[in-house]
């Protein structure tokens, strides 16, 4: 079947994804710190669909609730009103280590909100999206979660004050030739062809001495001083 090109104009197909600003997680951490107990609790946030996915907004409300180490029960009579006001994202916390929604969560919490997030161990560990199909029929989807970090403005002039220190090393290759390598110490792991690195100022004479006198298989003492590949 072939469609005319104009059939697809204005259509935007996106992957199921929940976009969570870091500020939202910071709010949850602040609440957790104030409670000072590893119990469940729930917070409602505003949110909605964008061209990038479902975006959670940092505007929130804490409904009345009774919590324990295993449950959160809403006692607020304004829950329906909050949803009508745009608080369609529910986040609830699980005790440490319980990083997935329970069957109770799915049945009594998640089905009532467009977006459900699980907060555990300082991060979002599970998520659900509810998409209306028709009438009272909704499609439940497990989306990806993308956390957007807070923007940080770093002064470029001050960053220039950080310099990497460099060192000179002596090392053996498979040819057993001593070679000096001038490199950034932070990048030495990118040279897998070298068998060992030595401070040339301290070991140059000793390494050359071992190389010139070697007539047999190295001893343990030699290997500790001069780790050469002896497999060939």
**Domains (range + CATH), the chain:** 12-148 (3.40.140.10), 164-225 (no CATH)
Spatial distance between the Cα atoms of 131 and 168, rounded to a whole number of angstroms: 61
- Residue 200 has a pLDDT of 44
Spatial distance between the Cα atoms of 163 and 10, rounded to a whole number of angstroms: 51
Q: Which of 78, 66, 62, 74 is nearest to 27 (CA)?
A: 62
Q: Determine phi and psi for 86, rounding to 5 degrees.
A: 110, 0
Sign of the CA dihedral with 90 first, then 108, 75, and 120 last:
negative
Q: Does the pLDDT at position 230 exceed 60? A: no
What pLDDT digit, counting tens, does each position of 168-221 carry? 544 444 444 444 444 444 433 333 444 444 444 444 444 444 444 444 455 555
Q: Determine phi and psi for 120, rounding to 5 degrees.
A: -155, 135
pLDDT tier at 4 (50, 70, 90 boundaries)? low
Spatial distance between the Cα atoms of 230 and 232, rounded to a whole number of angstroms: 5
Distances in Å between the alpha carbon of 179 and those of 196, 208, 232? 11, 11, 20
What pLDDT digit, counting tens, does each position of 142-157 carry? 999 999 998 888 888 8
- Residue 162 has a pLDDT of 83
- Residue 195 has a pLDDT of 42
Across the chain, mean pLDDT equals 78
- Residue 17 has a pLDDT of 96
What pLDDT digit, counting tens, does each position of 36-70 carry? 888 999 999 999 999 999 999 999 999 999 999 98
Compute the chain's Rg from CA coordinates. 30
- Residue 187 has a pLDDT of 38
Distances in Å between the alpha carbon of 117 and those of 61, 101, 131, 143? 15, 9, 15, 10
What pLDDT digit, counting tens, does each position of 106-116 carry? 999 999 999 99
């Amino acid at each position: 079947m072939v469609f005319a090109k104009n059939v697809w104009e204005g259509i935007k197909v996106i992957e199921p994804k929940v976009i969570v600003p870091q500020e939202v997680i910071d709010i949850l951490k602040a609440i957790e710190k104030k409670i000072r107990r590893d119990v469940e609790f729930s917070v409602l946030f505003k949110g909605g669909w964008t061209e990038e996915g479902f975006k959670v907004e940092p505007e929130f409300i804490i409904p009345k609730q009774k919590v324990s180490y295993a449950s959160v029960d809403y006692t607020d009579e304004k829950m329906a009103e909050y949803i009508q006001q745009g608080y369609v994202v529910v986040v609830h916390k699980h005790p440490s280590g319980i990083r997935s929604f329970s069957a109770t969560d799915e049945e009594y919490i998640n089905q009532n909100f467009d977006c459900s997030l699980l907060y555990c161990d300082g991060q979002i560990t599970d998520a659900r999206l509810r998409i209306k199909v028709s009438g009272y029929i909704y499609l439940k989807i497990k989306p990806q979660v993308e956390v957007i970090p807070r923007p940080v403005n770093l002064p470029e002039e001050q960053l220039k004050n950080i310099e990497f220190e460099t060192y000179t090393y002596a090392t053996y290759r498979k040819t057993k030739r001593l070679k000096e390598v001038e490199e950034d110490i932070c990048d030495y792991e990118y040279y897998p062809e070298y068998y060992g690195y030595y401070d040339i100022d301290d070991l140059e004479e000793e390494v050359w001495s071992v190389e010139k006198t070697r007539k047999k298989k190295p001893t343990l003492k030699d290997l500790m001083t001069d780790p050469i590949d002896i497999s060939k």
